[in-house]
A and B are shown apart, each in its own frame.
Chain A
Amino acid sequence: MCGAKAGGPDLAGVDVASETIIQGSVTRDGEPVNGYVRLLDEGGEFTAEVPTSATGQFRFFAAPGTWTLRALVPGATVDRVVAAQQGAVAEVAIAV
C-alpha cells in the first residue's frame, strides 16, 4: 500500500470548467483509510457516495452550494462542511 497523497485524485481528463468538483482524501494518522465518503445536500439528504481509493482519495461532481461530506470508516464517522462552485475544485482533507 502506498502512502496517502495530498489532495484529491488527478484531474487529467476532467472538464473542470464545466463541473463543480469536491474531492480530497481520508486519512488516519497520515495513512490512507479504506472506507466510504457520502455527499449530503443542504437539507442533509444523501446525494452520492463513493468508496475511497487505495490512496484514500475521493471525488464528487456536485452543483454550486454548501454540502456536507461524511466519511464512514470502520469504527468512525466524520462530517465536514464544504462550499463548492462551478469551475473550481474544492479540496477537503478528512482526518478520522
Chain B
Amino acid sequence: MSRSDVLVSADWVQDHLDDPKVVVVEVDEDTAAYDKNHIRNAVRIDWKKDLQDPVRRDFVDQAGFEALLSAKGIANDDTVVLYGGNNNWFASYAFWYFKLYGHGDVRLLDGGRKKWELDSRDLVDGSAVPERAATEYKAQAQDTSIRAFRDDVVAAIGAKNLVDVRSPDEFSGRLLAPAHLPQEQSQRPGHVPSARNIPWSKNANDDGTFKSDEELKALYEEENVDLSKDTIAYCRIGERSALTWFVLHQLLGQTNVKNYDGSWTEYGSLVGVPIELGSN
C-alpha cells in the first residue's frame, strides 16, 4: 500500500468526476452542507442518520451497510473517494468505516472540502443530486483488528500506545468538546492514564492536506510513540482519531493500530475507570 492508493489530489478528483467507476462521496460533520453545495456528481452519506444504529449506540450492522451502499449506487468494485469539511474528520471516519466492512478501493480527497473551496474550485447547487442505479453491495463481517472497545482501552493503560488526538485543552480537562460545540457534557473531563496527547491537527497543514510521510513519521518518533507496539487512537466520538488511524495505518503502514470509536464520550462516562488530568 502506498500513499497514492488511499489519498488523491483535488486535480485527480476533477479529472474523474465523470468516471462511472469512481464514486465521490461527501461525509460532513454538518450534514446539511451537501444541501448548500457539493462537488459535481458527489453523493452524500450522513454520518449520523446513515452510519449509526437509530436506537442503541453502535454502527449499522453488516446488512444495514449493504443496504445503504446498494441504495447509494455504490458497487463492490467501485473506487470510493470520500471528502468532507472540518479537514476530513468525518470523511476519515467514513474511510475507516468502509474498511471496517471490507470495501476494497476507498480513498480520501486530500484536504477535503476546505482545500477544494480555498482553491476556488467549482461546486454545484445542493439540489443537483446524481442518479446512480442501485447495486447489490456485499459487505464483509466487521474487521475488528481496526476497532477498539472500552475493555481494550482499559487493558492498554501502561501497556500499549494510547494516542489521544484531541486538542491540548480537551486532553488536560479544560474543555469537554471541540470549541465549536457547547461545552456542557455529562462525562468527566481528562484523559486515559498513560495516553500521549498528539492532536490530530499535527498531521495536517492549515489547508487540510496531510503532511508528508517523512514529516508524519518524525512527528510520532518525536512524541516517543513506539510503533512496534500496538496502538489505540481515540478522541471524543472517534472521528478525529479515525484521521490519526488513517495516518498511522494507511499512510505509514502500521497494521497494529485501532480506532476507539466509543472515545471520550464513552470512557469519560464509565464508572470506576482511572482518569488523569493535566497536560503531557
Interface of A with B (CB < 8 Å)? Answer: 14-15, 18-20, 34-36, 38-39, 41, 43, 45-51, 59-63, 70, 72-74, 77
* CB neighbours of B181 from chain A (8 A): 61
* CB neighbours of B183 from chain A (8 A): 18-20, 61, 63
User: B133 near A: Cβ within 8 Å?
Assistant: no
Given contacts A39-B179, A60-B180, A61-B183, contact A45 B117 (CB under 8 A): no
Q: List 30 A-B contacts (CB under 8 A).
A: A15-B182, A15-B184, A18-B183, A19-B182, A19-B183, A20-B183, A39-B180, A41-B168, A45-B168, A46-B199, A46-B201, A47-B167, A47-B169, A47-B178, A47-B179, A48-B167, A48-B178, A48-B179, A49-B86, A49-B87, A51-B33, A61-B177, A61-B182, A63-B169, A63-B174, A63-B175, A63-B183, A70-B206, A74-B117, A74-B120
Interface of B is mostly: loop
Interface of A is mostly: strand
A73 to B117 alpha-carbon distance, docked (Å) = 9
* CB neighbours of A61 from chain B (8 A): 177, 179-183
* CB neighbours of A20 from chain B (8 A): 183
Number of interface residues of B (CB under 8 A): 27
Closest to A51 in B: B85
With contacts A19-B183, A41-B169 known, what are 15 further pairs, Cβ within 8 A? A14-B182, A15-B184, A18-B183, A19-B182, A36-B118, A45-B199, A46-B167, A47-B167, A47-B179, A48-B180, A61-B177, A61-B181, A61-B183, A63-B169, A77-B206
User: B207 near A: Cβ within 8 Å?
Assistant: yes
* CB neighbours of B178 from chain A (8 A): 47-48
Interface of B with A (CB < 8 Å)? Answer: 30, 33, 85-87, 114, 117-120, 167-169, 174-175, 177-184, 199, 201, 206-207
* CB neighbours of A51 from chain B (8 A): 30, 33, 85, 114
- CB of A80 to closest CB in B, whole Å: 15
Closest to A59 in B: B180
* CB neighbours of A43 from chain B (8 A): 168
A74 to B118 alpha-carbon distance, docked (Å) = 5
Closest to B179 in A: A48
* CB neighbours of B33 from chain A (8 A): 51
* CB neighbours of A35 from chain B (8 A): 117-118
A60 to B183 alpha-carbon distance, docked (Å) = 10
* CB neighbours of B177 from chain A (8 A): 61
Q: Which 3 A-B pairs have the closest CB atoms?
A: A46-B201, A48-B179, A48-B180
Among the interface residues B169, B181, B207, which one has the most CB atoms of the partner chain A within 10 A?
B169
